[in-house]
Structure 1
Amino acid sequence: MNKEDLVNMIAAKTRITKKDTSQILDALTETIMETVASGEKVVLVGFGTFEPRDRKERKGMNPQTGQPITIPATTVPAFSAGKVFKEQVVNKGKEDAS
């Protein structure tokens, strides 16, 4: 599913125009990105948590030369699915297997 598909589905469920739905979705994603970039968590109960996670410096290997390299420490965005989200995915998988 791409953004246009998501906007169409949300608009159909809410009776909000596609234009307004797109603006709301843009504002939501922008706000989540800004919040996580500032070092804070965004918790959507039942859906999940967006948060920054620190990665330690580690050793790696240059795939072209085989030389060992040091990969610097960094902060990356992460998402952890909430209980309701996980249960829905697990239950859907069980239905499909039947």
Structure 2
Amino acid sequence: MAGNKVTKADIIDSIYQKKGLNRKDIRMVVDSFVDEIKDALIKNHVIELRGFGTFEIRVRKGRKKARNPKTGEPVSVNSHGVAAFRPGKELKQDVWNITDKAE
């Protein structure tokens, strides 16, 4: 794991080291898990993983007074969906005392 960043490959390797399962099978399960979350979000479903958190789509309101950051020119932005994650109670408690920012 490079620094504080954890990639999908790092997760697969960690599961392999802890459980001794076949890396190919682990990759298939992790990829399938991520695909299921994406598919559910695209269908505007809420995904609740008890003890971890909730994924959902929130609608961000459109704005007429937005600005293009490169040109400064005014632009209008339509309402659109954004993926959101709300941590569960257990995850909130587990990370409560972390005081250093990840690099």
TM-score by length of 1: 0.85
Higher helix proportion = 1
Q: Where in structure 1 do 4 or more consecutive aligned residues deviate above 3 Å?
A: none
Aligned residue-pair number: 94
Identity rate, percent: 36
Would you say 1:50 and 2:71 are equivalent positions? no
* Counterpart position of 2:79: 73
Picking from 7, 14, 17, the partner of 2:22 is 17
- Consecutive unaligned residues of structure 2, counting only runs of 5 or more, are 1-5
Query: How far did residue 74 of structure 1 move?
Result: 0.4
Deviations 1:72-94 (A, max 9, x none): 11011111111111111113x16
What is the root-mean-square deviation of aligned Cα atoms in Å?
Answer: 1.6
Query: How far did residue 12 of structure 1 move?
Result: 2.2
